[in-house]
Chain A
Amino acid sequence: MYQAIVFLPLLAAIAAGLFSLREQHSAAAFVTIGGVVTSLLLSCFAFVHIALGSNALTVEVARWIGSGDFQAHWALRFDTLTAVMLIVVTSVSACVHIYSVGYMSHDPSRARFMAYLSLFTFAMLMLVTADNLVQLFFGWEGVGVASYLLIGFWYHKESAHKAAMKAFVVNRVGDFGFALGIIAVFALVGSVQFDDIFDAVPLLVDSQISLFGMSLPALEVISVLLFIGAMGKSAQLGLHTWLPDAMEGPTPVSALIHAATMVTAGVFLVCRMSPVIEYAPVALDIITIVGASTAIFAATVGMTQFDIKRVIAYSTCSQLGYMFFAAGVSAYPAAMFHLTTHAFFKALLFLGAGSVIHALSDEQDLRRMGGIWRSVPVTYTMMWIGSLALAGFPFFAGFYSKDMILEAAYAAHSGPGMLAFWLGCAAALLTAFYSWRLLIMAFHGTPRASDEAMAHLHESPNVMTLPLIPLAIGAIFAGWVGYDMFVGHNYTAFWGDSIFILPQHQAMEAAHHVPTWVKLLPIGLAASGVFLAYICYRLKPELPGKIAGQFASLHRFFFNKWFFDELYDKIFVAPAVKIGKGLWLRGDKGTIDYFGPDGMSAMVHRISRSLVQIQTGYVYHYAFAMMIGVVILVSWYFSGFGGR
């Protein structure tokens, strides 16, 4: 049964891929939805058995890579952490699968789309059930490829395949760190299997790695390397640039991959590796600071964007920052709790936005929306629910999880924790602000869409609105239902051995005993954010323009996403090609070939001519040049490589 959870989506993806060859779209939809829904049902059983019943287990599947001590096998590990992720992944995936039938109904290659969605689900499930780091890496790169395929799904669009490639390459930068982290773990522990690693780590606290001429604590190095991987996948500050561009993909993709599941893989990785990271205090501080910076950075950018999907994408980026700084203050359960609630309300927001875009004939610009709330009542309600949950209004899902994170950050009583708390509070204000900015601009005010689009205005079909309902239920109740289980006083009973927190890291317990103002502040800030948005976009619509004019440079800074793309283009992209060209023309052709084969054939010519001219002294030139060459070579050799 446990294997079926993971492999059914794979079989469905293969079948759908074959159906797509013959353009059998309904068959593809049927088989993929069947696969993922079955997987969801089985996941529910697994959750009850494993998480609630505390029966962690590992299912061996097959051998994979084995060379000496380096043994990585295909095996599925089911513990509470996995079980939570199973529920999140399969439920959101099921909703998105069904929604896609409606959303993609006019697309000529929708069967291929369904196949990719199921392939993604399989890779994500492999990621969360991995029992060793290498298999996790398999899922990690697998979701990356699925994301690449889906962002670039409309491959005719230049912007789409450009964004797809950017996503893959930026993720690869993170994976560079991740891969080195895996190797460092193996070199230190002699195994890549989680159980072996976690057993060995407490004994290795004092071990050192000499790196860059310094002797560094091995566990810190490993944790930072793994976190670099997490930063790539979870779009944290510095490696975030791919996520907004990834919105070029169809909206269901944004909901599934770039909001609910794949981008949270980094958070999952940090929680999964908590037994290692707990012993790396510097790495924890780095995680906290990066998370907090991302939370505020993305929020500032999100409030200036006009593309409805990009606003939500930056919001995702920002919320992932919350999860990371929660993990950074050792409140892993809080991070996982927010991951779960966020999956529901963010998928809801994205699918709602997709419904708006669909209703307005593929319009995505907030400046060309407005005045449509009466025509799309279901979508409108859903967006309200999603926004209330996101902003953290009482008794919605985000309220429980986000407050828990802020309380934990406050309760950590550390410098980075305090920084994270205040930045998190500021981001909470901005979150509410941009959420209601979006709501007001999209649904209220005077209609600004083209007449043609307004004429076609319609509520989405049932196949698109019905999947929103389970997500909305999750966005409303997930926090209330999950609070005691995930982060309540007895949270250790639920998480079991799947999350490890050192006894001296008290943020989780202390979070329940923070001053009342800490508990109330986020709500107050959220309410003020809504109020501000109401003033700016409803009462005085001329105000935002004025403010932007007043603080032109700051606005430009935010609007251009802090100029990360321009910077990277200048530092990395343009020089790389230039250097490549230079090496090719000056290195390969100008030097190696010039002195090598081309030079040699030319020399034969010249020598035959010079033979007659020996007396004139030309030969001395050659002899002299050769001597110098030999001297340089020999001295270079003995100074450089000779003295090993």
Chain B
Amino acid sequence: MSLGISAVLGVVNMLSSWPLLSVIIFLPLIGVLFLMLIRGDEQVVAANSRQVALWVSSFAFLLSLFLLWGFDPVATGYQFEEKAEWIAGSGITYHLGIDGISMPFILLSTFLTPLAILASWQAITHRVREYMIAFLVLEVMMVGMFASLDMLMFYLFFEGVLIPMFLIIGVWGGAERVYAAFKFFLFTLLGSVLMLVCMLYMYHVVGTTNIVALSGYDFLPAVQFWLFIGFFASFAVKVPMWPVHTWLPDAHVQAPTAGSMILAGVLLKMGGYGFLRFSLPMFPDASEYFAPFIFVLSVIAVIYTSLVALAQSDMKKLIAYSSVAHMGFVTIGIFSLNEQGIAGAMFQMISHGLVSAALFFCVGVVYDRLHTREIGAYGGVVDAMPRYASFFMFMMLASVGLPGTSGFVGEMLVLVGAWQASYWVAIFAATGLVLGACYMLWLYRRVVFGRAEKPEILELAPLNNREYVIFVPLTILVLWFGVYPSSLLDIMQGTVLDLLEISGAGTATQTALR
């Protein structure tokens, strides 16, 4: 027993001297290397590619658990920090590190990637090797982005994410994949250009791209104003906020299931993460100035997209619109600029990452069997697939924010934060609770309940083991975070308080509270 513990501790000690973050980020590239080396006919390549991608991404997930283990929630500042000269004398460095805000996202990324790969096990049959390479590169970019403490690195990873996702939609997507991929690219690119301009300006003024140094820098309020707008253009598209959300439904509808899982699960969180990492600490005055504007956009997003979701006849589109509504809560929480709001927004992002990935997988499961996403083509699925109906039910309830699931905690905390910032925002945002129940329950009713009359519904194959392997961990986590959310809130708390302190808003609201 003690031998086992000391062995584990030995491993931890060894890992703490390692550049663990770099290892996690670049491990998938080794997988890519293996994938390129595979030889044989198409079947063999496909089968081996799946295995390699699954094992490599699972191993990356296991390694990332050491981050969780070694993370000290009480310590301030960044942990697992790595710093190396990159471009000598330029102030640009290779700089990695995590805090309570980025660590959960890294785990979310490494956790969802193997599940997404499993989800495409049978759905993807052509160019499997290239597909898997795209996914592994995507993982590199996602984790790298969350771990970067250098603005230039952040930018490279942030934009780099687009490329594999663009390919995943454009090559393995549905019939109108080119239009969707184009739209996705156009929206995100336009935002990014503005952000890049702002980054260049900031580097010009401060002389470094170190995020830690930039967070402490006092930009003039007038400068903050413009910089905020530049970054906002990029992050708002990613979230996506109304009215730059229209790329999302198309991208989701055309993307393969696994692509949607990662898109909704991780990529949408890049915007929220950007607000927390850049906008709030670097442009605190502008953040406060723009908060009402963002509240208005977010409230419109919650109500508008919920109503639009009601009108959808395509399952994926419906869930995509619901994502926009849920992300509206996130932006409300972030810009309420108080502890509950930001913690709630963080929690909502993680929860939405799990729940929406599961919901998109729910669609994928029946899509793989019936090859249609039309709600009208289903009805009575429960007869053929009772276990599937249970998982779907659970995730549907988590999506409408049932207490006891992770969905509730985030929404509740966001509303608590919003009420302190403005009653109006809380009241309007809370209508999302009602509207959310309407479209999700109606979707569930039309797809799952009723009497199965079409023969193809009765012949739907029940869930297989691979699908259980995807559903079960997601379900456990959603339940765990719903019953014991402190396990996540405790990790974030210190960082959230630091953030409020840096942005100066914290002290103001905290004293106003008392």
Contacts and interface: CB of A to CB of B under 8 A. Distances in A.
Interface of A: 62-70, 134, 137-138, 141-142, 145, 152, 155-156, 158, 161-162, 164-165, 168-169, 172-173, 175-176, 179-180, 183-184, 186-187, 190, 209-211, 576-577, 579-581, 583-584, 587-589, 592-593, 596-597, 600-601, 641, 644
B343 interface: yes
Nearest to B190: A600
Given A179-B433, A180-B426, A165 B484 contact: no
Given A165-B445, A190-B514, 20 more contacts: A67-B344, A67-B493, A68-B338, A68-B343, A69-B513, A141-B404, A141-B408, A145-B397, A155-B450, A156-B380, A162-B445, A169-B441, A172-B400, A179-B433, A183-B426, A187-B420, A209-B423, A576-B435, A577-B311, A583-B307
B293 interface: yes
B468 interface: no
A592 to B, nearest CB: 5
Contacts of A186: 416, 419
26 contacts: A63-B484, A63-B486, A65-B486, A66-B489, A67-B339, A67-B493, A70-B413, A138-B403, A138-B408, A155-B382, A158-B450, A165-B445, A168-B437, A172-B434, A175-B433, A176-B434, A179-B430, A180-B430, A183-B419, A190-B514, A210-B423, A576-B307, A580-B310, A596-B187, A596-B246, A641-B293
B413 A176 contact: no
Nearest to B380: A156
B231 to A, nearest CB: 18
B243 A597 contact: no
Contacts of B450: 155-156, 158, 161
B382 A142 contact: no
Nearest to B242: A592
B293 to A, nearest CB: 5
B172 interface: no
Nearest to B510: A68
Contacts of B426: 180, 183
Nearest to B183: A597
Max count, chain B CB within 10 A of own CB: residue among A142, A576, A597: A597
Contact of A66 (B296, B344, B486, B513): B486
Nearest to A174: B434
B409 interface: yes
Interface string B426-449: 110011011101100110010011
Interface residues of B, number: 66
Contacts of B83: none
B412 to A, nearest CB: 7
Contact of B311 (A69, A155, A580, A592): A580
A134 B412 CA distance: 9
B341 to A, nearest CB: 9
Interface string B237-256: 00000011011010000000
A265 to B, nearest CB: 14
Given A67-B340, A137-B403, A597-B183, A169 B416 contact: no
B430 A592 contact: no
Contacts of B433: 172, 175-176, 179
B486 A187 contact: no
Contacts of B489: 65-67
B492 to A, nearest CB: 9
A187 B338 CA distance: 12
Contacts of B249: 588
Contacts of A137: 403
B402 A145 contact: yes
B416 A172 contact: no
A580 B292 contact: no
Contact of B402 (A65, A141, A209, A641): A141
A165 B441 CA distance: 6
B309 interface: yes
A210 to B, nearest CB: 8
Contacts of B296: 641
Interface in B297-319: 304, 307-312
Contact of B485 (A65, A187, A589, A596): A65
A277 to B, nearest CB: 20
B416 A142 contact: no
Dominant SS among interface residues on chain B: helix
B449 A155 contact: yes
A64 B409 CA distance: 9
B254 to A, nearest CB: 14
Nearest to A192: B416
A592 B344 CA distance: 30
Nearest to B413: A67
B438 A169 contact: yes
Interface string B338-351: 11100110000000
Contact of B308 (A134, A172, A588): A588
B289 interface: yes
B486 A580 contact: no
Contacts of B339: 67-68
A637 to B, nearest CB: 9
A644 B433 CA distance: 29
The 8 A-B residue pairs whose C-beta atoms are closest, nearest first, are A580-B311, A580-B307, A138-B403, A68-B339, A581-B311, A580-B310, A161-B449, A67-B343
Contact of B404 (A66, A142, A579, A593): A142
B307 A169 contact: no
B182 interface: yes
A183 B416 CA distance: 5
Contacts of A644: 289, 292
Interface in B429-484: 430-431, 433-435, 437-438, 441-442, 445, 448-451, 483-484
A592 B246 contact: yes
A576 B435 CA distance: 9
A612 B486 CA distance: 65
A91 to B, nearest CB: 26
A621 to B, nearest CB: 23
Nearest to B317: A584
A64 B430 CA distance: 22
Interface string B82-115: 0000000000000000000000000000000000
Given A63-B486, A576-B438, A597-B247, A211 B423 contact: yes
Contacts of A172: 400, 433-434, 437
Max count, chain B CB within 10 A of own CB: residue among A209, A580, A592: A580
A184 B412 contact: no
B308 A68 contact: no
B311 A597 contact: no
A68 B340 contact: yes
A584 B308 contact: yes
A65 B419 contact: no
B75 interface: no
A601 B340 CA distance: 43
Max count, chain B CB within 10 A of own CB: residue among A64, A210, A581: A64
Contacts of B397: 145
A138 B415 CA distance: 16
A437 B343 CA distance: 58
B484 A62 contact: yes
Max count, chain B CB within 10 A of own CB: residue among A65, A66, A641: A65
B437 A169 contact: yes
Nearest to A593: B246
A70 B416 contact: yes
B193 interface: no
Contacts of B438: 169, 576
B484 A577 contact: no
Interface in B316-330: none
A597 B430 contact: no
B419 A576 contact: no
Contacts of B289: 644
Contacts of A164: 445
A584 B493 contact: no
A605 to B, nearest CB: 14
Contacts of B338: 68
Contacts of B484: 62-64
A126 to B, nearest CB: 9
